[in-house]
Structure 1
Amino acid sequence: MKKLFFTLLFLLPFFCNAREVLHLDTVLLNKYSGNSLIENWKFTAQYIPGKEPIDLSSWKPLSTLSGEDLNDTLHKLGFTGIGWFAKEFYIDSGLTNKPLAFSFNGYGAFDIYLDGKLIHTFGTFKSVTTKAKYVNPKLEPVIFSLAQPGRHVLMLHLENYFVITPGANSLASDFSVAINVKYADAAVELYANGLYISFTIMYGVLILFLALAFVHFMFYLFYRKSSANLNFGLFNLSMSVMFGCIFALSNIKFEWVHTIALFAMLIALFTACLSLHAFVNSLYYRKKWGFILITVLGVLLFLSSFYNNDIVGQSLFIFLVIFTAIDAVIKIIIAMRKKIPGSHILGCGILFFFFSIAGLFLYGFLTSGHFEVTPATLQGILLIMLLILILFSIPFSISAYLAWEFAYLNKSLSKQLQQVDRLSQKTIAQEKEKQEILANQNEVLEQEVKLRTEEIIAEKKKSDDLLLNILPAEVANELKEKGEAEAKLFDHVTVLFTDFVNFTQMSERMNPQQLVAQLHENFKAFDEIMERNGLEKIKTIGDAYLAVSGMPVANDKHAYNAVKAGLEIAAYIRNQQYENRFEVRVGIHSGPLVAGIVGVKKFAYDIWGDTVNTASRMESSSEAGKINISESTYRLVKDDFTFIHRGKIDAKHKGAIDMYFVEGEVRSI
């Protein structure tokens, strides 16, 4: 049914317009194979159609319209890109009034005449107002019938200005025309089968690329961290568009379809080059200069197409494709040499594609382009198989690489999950063991906590005792509560200074251990005396001892307590039994002062003010074994002790001051 449909489709104009069809004739031929009309032609550079009878006596003989030396032969005959070709043939009456067809295969613009009358045109001839358009009819049948037996003439008016250089090797400039004549139904069937096969192949390839594009676009939508799927999806989409455009250009005759197809093909080519470059770049080489160069070339290619500059456009097209190919090949080879994982999978397809294309071009150059892709020969079958492998080598290798990458990531994730599971099981076991240990050791832990709490309390007491040993209790409590202690003014206190007489000379007669031991024993006794009498020890400075009475807690008997402590110190020193016994002198003065903490590290509680300085002058103005007090202290304790008034004595930086030696405490009757 399919064959009958295409046969009726092509014969319909002939039967519907029987009165207008030219009834022509052809050679005796086999129904399906037909007869070839490529030999015994004649050529002339100029001819005006319409003259009858057609006289070919002045035309130059041409043995064939095919062959390796045809270009040179045509140039010798005077062919400069346009000319006329004619062939005589005879038929018998058996083929009259039967539908026949010519099938043409060649490149150029063709006017086909039969017995001087135009029956068909392929392509467009160059003129002042029109641009030449060369095509290949690809065995498209030209249907006709012959009414009379006998002699007939087939003429071709052919234009191909690419054929202008003898010895040219390009496919476009290699002149060759193949003509067959056969029954119309056989020609239509052959052409329809060719269209069907071409459409099936193109449609299959297009669907395959679209499917690959869709799948990898989906991969990218679900996992956008990897741009490789996006780039490969764009590459497959571009390839599908290019194959659709190729099919449209080859089989659809409308000019506006060709214009749209060419523009779409340029966009697809640019997108394919850019996406392939981006794909390889994202995997192995993250530099932007190649992307910029491809973009610039693409823009220039569109501009040249817009301004119809074919030479510049073809040059840019070739450079764009070559640059993309070389760039991808170099980066893949470098990645393979560096043994980057997965590069061999990707490299096999890409390198096979580009090296195979380069090999085909080289083969075509060496054979002057004389090879056909046809299943009729072993060479044609091998070429078809190679072209199929070349066509799908890049998409299949990239798909294989992405599948490998997915499998690799999946395996890595599975291993990590297994490791996490093992760690989880181990953690659960450890946690279970910990719970058992905690359950078994709960009582032990409670006892341990109790013991540690007691130790902490003991250590805290030690810290508090140490702090109280350094600071007054009120100041220590304020420091613990607030983190700081403010300096305070005390209006009524009494300061006591002691100093050992001739300490330097005594230390020279004693070894260091004896000196320190005796000094420690004395100061220890002084501390006890201070505590008994309610004085606050401030510090020791060398062999000097400083204490204050009446602070930090106010005490009305501050002067009395200080003098009494001084008498006890003097008595203690007098009663010592040491061979090298120290002699002490004591100075006491009453008045106001400021007390507070100084420093952050190794801080100390200290006192400042003129009262402290005056007490120091009282001590330095005293004598061995004596307690020397000032006038202000004397007024506070004159009724409690007996004194010797020393009169006014000069004190350093103080001038003359009244001073008193304390003789003893007044005994109550």
Structure 2
Amino acid sequence: MIRRLQMYSRNLEHLVEERTALYKAERDRADQLNFMLLPGPVVRSLKECGCVEPELFDEVTIYFSDIVGFTTLCQYSTPMEVVDMLNDIYKNFDSILDNHDVYKVETIGDAYMVASGLPSRNGNRHAVDISHMALDILAFMGTFQLRHLPGLPVWIRIGVHSGPCAAGVVGIKMPRYCLFGNTVNTASRMESAGLPLRIHVSQPTISILQRTDCQFEFERRGETYLKGKGMETTYWLTGVKGQDYDLPVPPTAESFQRQQQDLAHMIQSCLEKRSQGSGRMAQRKTLSTRQRRREKEEGQGDQQPEYLHLVDNLTTYM
């Protein structure tokens, strides 16, 4: 009986260890999913007390970008093609973010919002990291091709602004880490007032970059009207001294206007080329099938061994 009790105790301990390991693995997977949805400090605060106190940040940098002509692209694409397009673009954006100290806030349709300097403060590095990230994203867009519309140029506008903002989790169901303040609105206006394949940067961000060791290259755009803000001095971020980002050449104002007017025709042309290409592929497939059938029939009529066809002059070798 004592021996049986000892065996039962050992089996019970082994079972407890096994179940504990499974529990820890499931807990780690759940924590990993939570950390993908919310910042780490926010997740820990929600787990400990069930709420998150809003926090004020004195200086952060916010990035906005969207796709030029997205409405027209959606008009000539199926819903699944639109989803695949955004997924292809934003998966690459997400991989670029992993190389920088930034936090992806959210995506709203074709709009992509990123911030740095929160929830963990990083001094003046927030403007530097956002600028490097914006250059990497712009370089990627220079090589990106749509799967369902190959050959069609895909342009994005990028806007960057720095300043104070508040952040916190609002509501109970489906909590999200949201940013509030005039800095968010100004960053959005910087994006909408920008031009395709350009990084539109505000004066406060340029001032922060000039206080750092990084030698960013930028051009003064001049006085720009921002909706609800009035006239502001803005700049184009063009690169970093000593580094080659291989950025795409931005279109001129005339070519941009022409492309906006002809975008629908360009999409229709790509669709026609795609349909013609698929038709030619189907035709080649049909021809190859017929050719194989014909060769098979001819092979049945000629009973000569297959290896003898490899010899040019059979009598010479016989």
Does structure 1 residue 620 correspond to structure 2 residue 188? no
One-letter amino acid of the counterpart of residue 138, structure 2: A
One-letter amino acid of the counterpart of residue 563, structure 1: S
Q: Show the counterpart of 1:642.
A: 217
Aligned with residue 664 of structure 1, among 223, 239, 253: 239
One-letter amino acid of the counterpart of residue 224, structure 2: I
CA distance in 1, matches of 2:103, 2:5: 52
TM-score (norm 2): 0.69
Runs (5+) with no aligned partner, structure 2:
244-318
CA distance in 2, matches of 1:528, 1:474: 22
Q: Show the counterpart of 1:606.
A: 178
Q: Show the counterpart of 1:149.
A: none
Residues 29-428 of structure 1 mapped to structure 2, 5 A cutoff: none
Aligned with residue 33 of structure 2, among 445, 459, 466: 466
CA distance in 2, matches of 1:462, 1:533: 24
Deviation track 1:477-509 (CA, whole Å, cap 9, x = no partner) reads 222223222111000110001111111111222
Residues 551-562 of structure 1 mapped to structure 2, 5 A cutoff: 551-555=118-122, 556-562=124-130
CA distance in 1, matches of 2:68, 2:5: 68
Aligned with residue 88 of structure 2, among 521, 527, 544: 521
Q: Show the counterpart of 1:633.
A: 205
One-letter amino acid of the counterpart of residue 601, structure 1: K
Q: Is the 8 A contact 1:497 1:586 kept in 2?
A: yes
SS of aligned partner of 2:145:
coil
CA distance in 2, matches of 1:459, 1:659: 49
Q: Is the 8 A contact 1:500 1:584 kept in 2?
A: yes
Distance 1:513 1:441, change over 3 A: farther
CA distance in 2, matches of 1:474, 1:619: 29
CA displacement at 1:440 relative to structure 2:
7.0
Q: Show the counterpart of 1:569.
A: 137
Distance 1:511 1:438, change over 3 A: farther
CA distance in 2, matches of 1:544, 1:650: 21
Q: Is the 8 A contact 1:537 1:546 kept in 2?
A: yes
One-letter amino acid of the counterpart of residue 72, structure 2: Q
One-letter amino acid of the counterpart of residue 232, structure 2: I
Deviation track 1:288-309 (CA, whole Å, cap 9, x = no partner) reads xxxxxxxxxxxxxxxxxxxxxx
CA distance in 2, matches of 1:438, 1:596: 55
SS of aligned partner of 2:46:
helix
CA distance in 2, matches of 1:443, 1:519: 54
CA displacement at 1:621 relative to structure 2:
0.8
CA distance in 1, matches of 2:153, 2:35: 32
TM-score (norm 1): 0.33
Q: Show the counterpart of 2:44.
A: 477
Bigger Cα Rg: 1
Q: Show the counterpart of 2:162.
A: 590
Q: Is the 8 A contact 1:503 1:582 kept in 2?
A: no
> More relative contact order in 1 or in 2 (CA 8 Å, sep 6+)?
2
CA distance in 2, matches of 1:592, 1:531: 24
CA distance in 2, matches of 1:525, 1:536: 15
SS of aligned partner of 2:105:
strand
SS of aligned partner of 1:468:
helix
CA distance in 1, matches of 2:59, 2:192: 23
CA distance in 2, matches of 1:489, 1:625: 32
CA displacement at 1:442 relative to structure 2:
4.4
CA displacement at 1:608 relative to structure 2:
0.4
Q: Show the counterpart of 1:173.
A: none
Q: Show the counterpart of 1:453.
A: 20
Q: Is the 8 A contact 2:145 2:154 kept in 1?
A: no
One-letter amino acid of the counterpart of residue 188, structure 2: S
One-letter amino acid of the counterpart of residue 627, structure 1: I
Q: Is the 8 A contact 1:560 1:640 kept in 2?
A: no
CA distance in 1, matches of 2:75, 2:166: 37
CA displacement at 1:441 relative to structure 2:
5.0
CA distance in 2, matches of 1:531, 1:544: 19
CA distance in 2, matches of 1:440, 1:502: 71
Q: Show the counterpart of 2:59.
A: 492
CA displacement at 1:520 relative to structure 2:
1.1
One-letter amino acid of the counterpart of residue 525, structure 1: N
SS of aligned partner of 1:450:
helix
Distance 1:438 1:526, change over 3 A: farther
How many pairs were matched up? Answer: 233
One-letter amino acid of the counterpart of residue 571, structure 1: A
Q: Show the counterpart of 1:62.
A: none
Identity of aligned residues (%): 38
CA displacement at 1:469 relative to structure 2:
0.6
Q: Show the counterpart of 2:290.
A: none
Distance 1:540 1:449, change over 3 A: same
CA distance in 2, matches of 1:666, 1:481: 46
Q: Is the 8 A contact 1:641 1:665 kept in 2?
A: yes
